[in-house]
Amino acid sequence: MVILLVIFGIIAVTIVFSYNNLINKKNRVDQAYGSIDVMLKKRQDLIPNLVATVQEYAEHEKGLLTDVTELRSQAIKDEGDTAKRFEDEAALTQKLRTLMVNVENYPNLKANTNFLQLQGTLHEVEEQISAARRAYNASILDLNNAVEMFPSNIIAKEMKLTTKEMFEIPDEERQNVNVKELFKN
């Protein structure tokens, strides 16, 4: 009788522990996603100022600046759809990178204090976005491990919790950067 009670107790504790652990990991994923959101918004806030500064000096980049502005608006519109939003933000990252390379052709712009500050801030925001994505992937890994490993996978199935996808870079970004091509654009 005592043995049965002990076994029952152990099972109950394991169930409670696994349930709480899964909820904890799920909430961490949401928190990490929220951090990416904050950093992406920070970047979005920088863009109007950046576009206005570059426009003054770099008339030939009008097309690129228009693309950046449009992608920013699109990303704001798609905030409710995670996959679409990440796609828009990835495209925006590419355009901004191209813009930063192209401004090398405008020495007056490079000497502008306001632009240099924006460029530096943008670089730091990109680093923070990268850190937020790494934190997101780490929290996804923790959740996926808990959902798939025994005995928490039993509880996860009952809770209808499934594995989530990690943040991955698009295929174009995996390729080696051709610096010559960048300058041609």
Partner 1 sequence: MSDKSLPTFEEVKSQIEDTAANLDAQRIKGMKYNRKNRMIVFFLAIVVFPLSIFVFSWDIITGIFAVMISGLSVLYFVSEFDYQYRYDVKYGMVTAILDCFSSELLYYPENSMLLDVVNRGQIIRSWYSDNVDGEDYIKGYYNGNYIQFSSLVIKRGLNGHNSIGVFRGRYLVCEFNKEFDSHTLVLEDSLEKHLGFFGQSIQDFVSNGKLVRLENADFERRFVTYTTDQVEARYILSPSFMEKLMELDDKYDDGISAGFRNGNMHLAMKTKQPLIQYENDYPLTMEAIQYRFYEPIYQIFNLIETFEMNQKLWSKQ
Residues that bind partner 1 (CB under 8 A): 24, 28, 32, 35, 39, 116-117, 120-121, 123-124, 127-128, 130-132, 134-135, 138-139, 141-142
Give the gyration radius of the chain's Cα atoms: 23
Closest to partner 1 by CB, 25 or 91: 25
> DSSP 3-state assignment of 35?
helix
Under 8 Å between Cβ of 31 and 166: no
Nearest approach, Cβ of residue 36 and partner 1 (Å): 9
Closest to partner 1 by CB, 59 or 127: 127
> DSSP 3-state assignment of 168?
coil
Closest to partner 1 by CB, 120 or 170: 120
DSSP one-letter code for 145: H
Under 8 Å between Cβ of 70 and 47: no
- For residue 107, whether the previous peptide bond is cis, meaning omega lies within 30 degrees of 0, is no
Nearest approach, Cβ of residue 132 and partner 1 (Å): 5
Closest to partner 1 by CB, 64 or 146: 146
Residue 38: which residues within 8 A CB-CB, separation 6 or more? Answer: 132
